[in-house]
Amino acid sequence: MNPDTELEAWRREWQSDAAIPPDLRRRVERQSRWMRITIAADILVTAGIGGAVLVLAVRAPQPGFVLLAAATWLFIASAWTFRLISSRGLWKPSAMDTAAFVDLLVKRCHARLAAAVFGAILYVCEIAFCVGWLYRYSGPLSAPLLVGLGLATLAFFAFVLWYRRRQRNELAWLATLRDA
């Protein structure tokens, strides 16, 4: 009996591939789980905040509440559009080899860096709108509110800077891994 030569060639090719390091595979799987969790959280935030401002605008159809609902949904739509575009191609490696897993991690890292910049810009836009809206529809803002807002903004941007540095370090580590 002659063995099937094509099947034998496939078997040799499959056995010659180096196994994906378990820690690399676990890292990709952990990031994939985290991506699913953050999408679920985004859906909850969208339903909660988006739904609340819609209910407010319907129950009290004053121009201020309608404007608040419209702006909120504009911010939500912007965030979802960015998320959907930036996460394209980040769900699984293009092949089942070490290089594809490393490339996927690099792409994810670049996407997280871009998300940090987008998040900071979106935060500034939202804060500017909210402060203007509060001033217009609630009158002059109190000092404790402004101090709290300032502290929250400092904390947010400190986190963004820390997060970006962490992602850059991971990118550098991935570059050494890719070059090894």
pLDDT digits (tens, 9 = 90+) for 107-129: 999 999 999 999 999 999 999 99
Under 8 Å between Cβ of 18 and 102 = no
Percent of the chain with pLDDT over 70: 89
Angle at 84 between CA 83 and CA 85, to 5 degrees: 95
Give the Cα separation of 175 and 178 in Å (integer): 5
Are the C-beta atoms of 28 and 105 separated by less than 8 Å?
Answer: yes
pLDDT of residue 23: 87
pLDDT tens-digit series, residues 65-106: 999 999 999 999 999 999 999 999 999 988 888 888 999 999
Distance of alpha carbon 41 from alpha carbon 45, whole angstroms: 6
Alpha carbons 119 and 127: distance in angstroms, whole number: 12
Arithmetic mean of pLDDT, 131-147: 90
- Res 9 pLDDT > 80: no
pLDDT in tens, 35-45: 999 999 999 99
Confidence class for position 20, pLDDT limits 50, 70, 90:
confident
